[in-house]
Structure 1
């Protein structure tokens, strides 16, 4: 019976860059050449997302990354709810106008909203200095979201000179007020060992705080700690439960890891069909590792009806992202010309390219 190889995750600090997905360092499949762990970035990413009703367009590759903080208005303040409602519906100019009036009256949530709008050029020209000013006013008034957002700006040196010491204090204050994003990013700084002395146990505590609050990135990171015994006693059962929670929240890396655990019956009852379904989901979310694992199970027919054409389509797609696999290359070479043409056509259609250019 084929076993899927789990992803070995290097427990190192990988700070989030703005408008980029979290990347925990992954050891590639056995067929791939080992690569060193990724070097920590210098710009932690905020974890809040834009409202689904009005997704912001993806910035061009050369555009400046923006801090994203979605203020959570208290339900008993109809004025703040109105500002937030306008923001949710993408009516940024109206949200800006109303928030400006509310901020002058001392409304801290409106101040945070102004910082958000200035930082992300929503309804107003991007101005990090003004964003930092409004975030600071709200942070001084005790708003945890503003503290977090201002910390991100201070780390990145936007809206003023970089100030990592101030950023750490802001993250700590925000985390103390229960902000899971702040706890997660502060944990990364403790792992990095540059801004703060490296302390994996403190990092684990902060990750647990964020994970308990439902932060999927923290759940995934803490799962790797339990899996490898980093800063916590090794506990595969806890690791798998955290992977499951993060996977249910659509964390792609967790989907892959949890699928592998299900496939192999590691820390959870064996469920090959469920594993393949998760791998398929992650593959369609452009996880090259999932694409490689899905290709293997489809080609071998383990846990799913054998479909070499579909499996090798995913193999070709994974190769373009650098996830080669000699075993699957051999299977591709043995396909009939007609089936190989189908696999290549499927890969080209997925990639939106007339030519396959594997790395």
Structure 2
């Protein structure tokens, strides 16, 4: 019987045994769920040395498999050059499906990319994304982007 590295790793993680969680998850690092968990561990330096490059690598694996929180994390990493060169096209690649899934933080990040005129976006699309977020929340981050880029004029 094969070992379920993901569930074993998550059991250790939930028990606060991050090193043991890492040791199990790394055994199946191409599994998207394991990859996402490894991204979190590397991002936070839990059970391993903090490493944004590796974190983004693992988030990207999970994001390509459709794991929405990984899409947000990978997109944010590429937008903000966290362990990888800043790449707004890659950021948008990961953020768009998360936006379609309704993820507010992805919408705010993608809106800012578009408001800057990057990744083929424009201010009108940026304003639409921010308005979607503000329709359901009082997001201070969304208001900051809306105001900073004067999206009320878009």
TM-score normalised by the shorter chain: which range applies? 0.7 to 0.9
Seen in structure 2, the aligned counterparts of structure 1 residues 322 and 230 have a Cα distance that, compared at 3 Å, is: farther
Q: Give me the TM-score of the superposition, normalised by structure 1.
A: 0.38
Report how far residue 262 of structure 1 moved. 2.2
Are 2:41 and 2:48, in contact at CA under 8 Å, matched by a contact in 1? yes
Distance across 1 between alignment mates of 2:99 and 2:146: 19
Q: Give me the TM-score of the superposition, normalised by structure 2.
A: 0.80
Q: What whole-Å deviation, never above 9, does each CA across 1:264-306 have from its counterpart, x for those lacking one?
A: 33333432212122212211121111011111112221x2345
Report the equivalent of 1:186.
11
Report how far residue 204 of structure 1 moved. 2.1
Report the equivalent of 1:207.
25
Question: Unaligned stretches of 5+ in structure 1?
Answer: 1-143, 145-176, 192-198, 340-359
Structure 2 residue 78 is matched with structure 1 residue 253:
no
SS state of the match for residue 139, structure 2? coil
Are 1:190 and 1:203, in contact at CA under 8 Å, matched by a contact in 2? no
Distance across 1 between alignment mates of 2:112 and 2:104: 13
Structure 2 counterparts to residues 69-108 of structure 1, below 5 A: none
**Superposed CA RMSD:** 2.4
Are 1:289 and 1:323, in contact at CA under 8 Å, matched by a contact in 2? no
Runs in 1 of length 4+ with deviation above 6 angstroms?
A: none
Report the equivalent of 1:316.
131
Structure showing the higher helix proportion among its residues: 2
Report the equivalent of 2:144.
327
Distance across 2 between alignment mates of 1:262 and 1:277: 10
Distance across 2 between alignment mates of 1:233 and 1:181: 20
Q: How many residues are paired up?
A: 150
Seen in structure 2, the aligned counterparts of structure 1 residues 260 and 329 have a Cα distance that, compared at 3 Å, is: closer
